[in-house]
Structure 1
Amino acid sequence: MLTPLFLLTLVSLTMGYVYKMPLVRVEPQRIQMMREGKWAMALKQMNAERLMRKASAGAVYNQSVLLETGTADFWVPDASCAPPPRIKGCDESECDAGATCKIFCPKVELCCGGPGGMLAERKYTCTGKNVYDPTKSATYVKMEGSWLFEYNNGFVQGLYANDTVRFGTEGEHRLTVPGTGFGRAVRISKYLMNRSSLFTTWHKNHQKNDYFSCPFEDYLRKIVNYFIAVHYNLICVLGPSGIYSRFDGVLGLGFTSLALTETIQPFVRAHRLGLVEPIFTVHMRQVGVADNVYGGAFTWGGIDTENCGNLIAYQEVSLVWFWQFRLRNVSVGSYVSNTGWDVALDTASAFIGAPHSVVKGVAKALDAEYSPEEDAYFVDCDGYPKLQFGIGENIYTVKGDNFKLTLEEYKCILPIYAMDSVFLGPSWIFGAPFMRQYCTIFDMKMFRIGFANSLQEE
């Protein structure tokens, strides 16, 4: 997961600057619950790899946002979605919602149902979130229109705003992007705060414009995307694939052709204003089971030469929609498949998604045991083979330390799940296991993805 924007160092470039931002890694709640023995069988996998950092919009409000290459929209919770401050005297635990309040709270009439009590907070769906308040921002500009995202397990709806967005926390040298349009969520489904989803649907006609001018051959793809969105009034995108409870909003970094709202995501606007080159690098750290620790870095406007080795190769984006490319084959142990697929990179996923037949083949080759109660594959933590992917002319190997999630000393999860492909979309999702092994370079101008060895500490 990532927290609102980020940045660390400045390096001069031909056009703009390079901003490096450290990330905070938050362990997926599913893994935490499984380790504690609290995970019951779930229909949807809660598999978000949370890399967080702080960002702000307008006045000094820091939001922790999920940095998501599987979407292309930016939204944060609005002040109207959160309850007002509690009345003095109602902030004690004895006045929390429920029977406790009516029995133990010294100010029952005031706190147990009034505007200052916990019961009053139940109607608000952004309780505990860092919210955006347009009334306190001198740079806020009103935007007309509304939006609604429907996830498999809930929804988010809201209005638009135009304001200055800053990448990073107060006091840092931050990438500042004025005049940025974004969504301010006024209602968030409670189910979304406690469940996971893979896909998002959008129920509103919208126009498509690419980030930058596309080659002629890409116009057909844009027409197809437009046809899906407008004719069927429905589009699927990768969505927040984990609980909402530990971040405030979502910052999408996908292509504009994937955008569901009528706004331009902040990084694209930063390029249009000449602030950065249209390229960013993701470095994810291998931290084992650690939670709320340094989890890597996002580098805006260039390549991360501190955490990443020499470039291995670039791979062309196969469809200017998701950050997707062609995968030639996969092998592990005795299992090999040369079917060939499209795979999308998703910074918000802690797992690797693959076709059903591949998951079964990989699990069999690794002697993984499937548990219906946990809805997961379990393997011995020691000594299973490396997973190899054929991409372009190169073979990329994901080593065992990156292809397992430890629950107990001798009990590990195989971080892979079976998925159905999206129409014109990917058949695979490469999440944190792949991106911990290799730095990924997202080049929006040249429509390509680069791979470099990740320089991890031994």
Structure 2
Amino acid sequence: MKLFWIVLLAVLSCAMAEIYEVPLEEVEPPVVKMLREGTWDAYRKKMNHWRSKLVNPQNTYSNDIYSYFDIGYVSKITVGTPDQTFRVVLDTSSADIWVVDHTCASTPLVCDDSICDQGAICEIFCPENVCCEKRLHKKRNPCRGKANFESKRSSTYQQMEGKWSFTYRSGASAEGIFGNDTVRFGEVGKKQLIVPKVKFGQALKLNDDFLDRPHDGFVGLAFSSLSFNGFVQPFEIAHQQGLVQPVFTIYMERVGGRVQNAFGGVVTFGGLDTKHCGDVIAYQPLSAPLHWKFNINNVTANGVELMAYMPDAISDSSATFITSYPSNIEILAKALKAKPSEDALYYIDCKADASISIGIGNQVYQIDGKNLIINVADNVCIVAIRETRNFWGTTWVFGTSFIRQYCHIYDMGNKQIGFARSLKN
């Protein structure tokens, strides 16, 4: 009889679980914007400088992630009661969640333009003494202009102890405190996946690398055991509460150009996306259920096959570029007839017939040139490949170019990842 009730409860839980479709917005990746504005090389040099000096702060949690300068898609969540809306990166390569806190953006606007110096003279003559005290006149506040969370406005908010800190390999850094509140995937007024009692980060400080970035925070969708901060990511909580099945699908649409805030796809929480994706071609077991990490057989570019160091890859929804070790990327670039440059990118003929194929299990998945080549100016294009020397001990990272070509099905329950042909791309 006891077994009967267990089975019945499981069946009822599955029956009650729903599917939620949360839109994505395509945004211009910061690296492309910097290339157009001529600031990329300076940023890259600063990034390399910071990478050589990384030190984890004491008494805080730290996450060492390569970079988020190539983000191309954001989505909307709300936090608190009533809803406070944020544009966030839904990131399958991390498991933490944070948004900007209101105290981070609360310094006076006059501080941005203040010419006062810190010290006694400033205290006497500067009209806004807070600019002197915090040296905020030296730089723009990266939090200003972003949506920010006000805990006093939320009736469901609970303060939590502890501090967190992220130091990204790019030199970008964020730090703050913990809170607990209701998180909703999706926009106000539309069907939302509502997840109560989520531990999240409130960013009190961001460094300059977050200036003018198109997002107000991050929501990790990797396995919570990856978290450096003791978070349980909200989608896992939703499954634990019986709100959804432990599966989500990402479909990304290619708009291209400099169109901002355009419809960029859908994340389907709780099941498969049958509107935008074809039948599932195959599933591949995860090699390590922390990241969405799986074994691959090989990578081929225009018929040139890479056989060395092929064991595994990560699916990263926050990355525009395919990344691997320098030796692999050099072979890919040569096969694609892409030319290296001093700015660490590879330039290619905008009309090139380029493709990359990935052998996974018994299948081969081809990424076409339309999803690999990025136009940065008139008749100037780069190919979405980039070198990295250490990325979680993984050989390859496949980002949005792969996801646009093939919908990715992230099956947490069975610890596997599936691929289905995009019906549009």
TM-score (norm. length: structure 1): 0.77
Q: Retained in 1: the 8 A contact 2:76–2:187?
A: yes
Q: Hey, what's the Cα distance between the residues in 2 that align with 1:353 and 1:33?
A: 19
Q: Retained in 2: the 8 A contact 1:98–1:119?
A: no
SS at match of 1:365: helix
Whether 2:207 is the aligned partner of 1:189: answer: yes
1:23 maps to what in 2? 24
Q: Hey, what's the Cα distance between the residues in 2 that align with 1:29 and 1:302?
A: 31
Matches within 5 A, 1:248-267: 248-267=216-235
Q: Hey, what's the Cα distance between the residues in 2 that align with 1:397 and 1:450?
A: 15
1:383 maps to what in 2? 352
Whether 2:85 is the aligned partner of 1:49: answer: no
SS at match of 2:413: coil
Q: Retained in 2: the 8 A contact 1:420–1:427?
A: no
Q: Hey, what's the Cα distance between the residues in 1 that align with 2:331 and 2:296?
A: 17
Q: Which runs of 4+ in 1 moved over 6 A?
A: 115-123
Q: Hey, what's the Cα distance between the residues in 2 that align with 1:29 and 1:20?
A: 26
Matches within 5 A, 1:333-352: 333-339=302-308, 340-352=310-322
Letter in 2 for 1:22: P
1:359 maps to what in 2? 329
Letter in 2 for 1:113: E
Q: Hey, what's the Cα distance between the residues in 2 that align with 1:189 and 1:385?
A: 37
Greater CA deviation, 172-181 or 440-449?
A: 172-181
Instruction: Provide closer, same or farther for how the CA distance between residues 120 and 377 of structure 1 changes in structure 2, counting only shifts above 3 A.
Output: closer
2:155 maps to what in 1? 138
Letter in 1 for 2:184: R
More helix by share: 2
2:10 maps to what in 1? none
Letter in 2 for 1:19: Y
Q: Hey, what's the Cα distance between the residues in 1 that align with 2:298 and 2:108?
A: 56
Count of aligned pairs between the two proteins: 380
Q: Hey, what's the Cα distance between the residues in 2 that align with 1:306 and 1:446?
A: 23
Pick from 385, 399, 413: which aligns with 1:431? Answer: 399
Greater CA deviation, 120-129 or 34-43?
A: 120-129
Q: Output one character per residue of 1:367-402: Cα deviation in whole Å (capped at 9) or x when no partner.
A: 211110x32111112232321111100010000111
Instruction: Provide closer, same or farther for how the CA distance between residues 414 and 398 of structure 1 changes in structure 2, counting only shifts above 3 A.
Output: same
Q: Hey, what's the Cα distance between the residues in 2 that align with 1:295 and 1:193?
A: 22
Pick from 159, 164, 180: which aligns with 2:182? Answer: 164
Shift of 1:268: 0.8
Shift of 1:53: 2.2
Pick from 94, 97, 111: which aligns with 2:113? Answer: 97
Greater CA deviation, 42-51 or 21-30?
A: 42-51
Instruction: Provide closer, same or farther for how the CA distance between residues 369 and 74 of structure 1 changes in structure 2, counting only shifts above 3 A.
Output: same
**Percent of pairs with identical residues:** 36
Shift of 1:427: 1.1
Shift of 1:355: 2.0
Shift of 1:14: 2.3
1:403 maps to what in 2? 372
Letter in 2 for 1:353: T
Alignment RMSD, CA only? 2.7
Unaligned runs of 5+ in 1: 1-11, 102-108, 195-243
Q: Hey, what's the Cα distance between the residues in 2 that align with 1:321 and 1:123?
A: 36
Q: Hey, what's the Cα distance between the residues in 2 that align with 1:308 and 1:278?
A: 19
Pick from 57, 65, 82: which aligns with 2:105? Answer: 82
Shift of 1:326: 0.7
SS at match of 1:267: helix
Pick from 403, 412, 416: which aligns with 1:444? Answer: 412
Shift of 1:123: 8.9
Q: Output one character per residue of 1:66-97: Cα deviation in whole Å (capped at 9) or x when no partner.
A: 111110000111222221677xxx7xxxx961
